[in-house]
Amino acid sequence: MKHKSKFILAALISLLGFTASLVDLSEVDVQLPAFFDEWTSQEQISAEEIENLPDYDGQNVVIQVNGNRPSFTAEEASIDAGSWQTFSDLDSLNRVGVANAMLHRSMMPTEERGDISNVYPTGWNQKKLENNVWLYNRSHLIGFQMTGENDNWKNLFTGTQQLNQIHMVQFENEVANYLRKTNNHVRYRVTPIFRERELLPRAIQMEAQSIENNDVQFNILIHNVQNGVTIDYQTGKATNP
């Protein structure tokens, strides 16, 4: 089984490389299999440390926050108001803020995602990498597959391909698959982490808690980085070393 997984992984990477030469991956959501979970680090950070988030250490892209336990209060986890979602207003620099939701499968879209190329989130200094794919994605705080939110400026931030298509999608798929299989709710929160007046978020924090049971529960931080690329978070400009 181990050799089979390695073969599947190699085939998938090859397929992604071929696809990248045909389409603009900045507009594509890639669905990755469950065994990509092994890429998630067991490194830990506290909620208090996020306010003074240290620089990326070059190894641990995904870090568990508070032992992977979400920090919703009883009031925040109440389903008295049914399903809903809210987005923060853009700040004085036009940066996105925290997005909250009480998710349910009734909110999931029945149509394919539309064009979002008219949205230019802060730090959008697109760059084509050496492997002929784009560095940045217009990344959803609350994924389209959850609620059908499309070209909402309050819901889109500049995220690296590595953040959006490799790591963030793992946790989004976990939530979406649970919603499709049950009639239950998931409390969900995604928080972009900016440092001072920088235009590109250093990381995002994702929290989820299934309400009727504990089948879905995580609190993780994903660094907004790309292997082999040096990023200026003040502007979003990037260079290859």
Looking at this protein, which amino acid is placed at residue 184? Answer: N
CA 96 to CA 204: how far, in whole Å? 11
Q: Which residues, in sequence order, are bridge partners of residue 63? A: 221
Q: Which residues, in sequence order, are bridge partners of residue 192? A: 204
Q: Which residue's structure tokens are 């940045």?
A: 136
CA distances from residue 107 to 98, 120, 131 in whole angstroms, order as listed: 19, 26, 37
String of b and e for 94-117 (b: at least 16 CB within 10 Å)?
A: ebbeebbbbbbbebeeeeebeebe
Q: Which residues, in sequence order, are bridge partners of residue 218? A: 208
CA 195 to CA 193: how far, in whole Å? 7
- Tens digits of residue pLDDT in 133-177: 999 999 999 999 999 999 999 999 999 999 999 999 999 999 999
Q: Give the model's pLDDT for residue 241.
A: 65
Domain residue ranges in the chain? 26-239
Low-confidence ranges of the chain (pLDDT < 50): 1-40
Q: Residue 28 in 3-state DSSP? A: coil
- Strand (E) or helix (H) holding 229: none
Identify which of 230, 228, 175, 225 has the alpha carbon closest to the alpha carbon of residue 203.
225
Q: Which two tokens stand for residue 111?
A: 């149509």
Identify which of 145, 200, 130 has the alpha carbon closest to the alpha carbon of residue 175.
145
pTM: 0.82
Q: Give the model's pLDDT for residue 90.
A: 98
Q: Which residues, in sequence order, are bridge partners of residue 99? A: 87, 190
Q: In angstroms, how far is the first alpha carbon of the chain from the final one?
A: 38
Q: Give the model's pLDDT for residue 34.
A: 40
Contact 114, 150 (CB under 8 A): yes
CA 221 to CA 45: how far, in whole Å? 9
Q: Give the model's pLDDT for residue 14.
A: 42
- CATH number of the domain at 26-239, please? 3.40.570.10
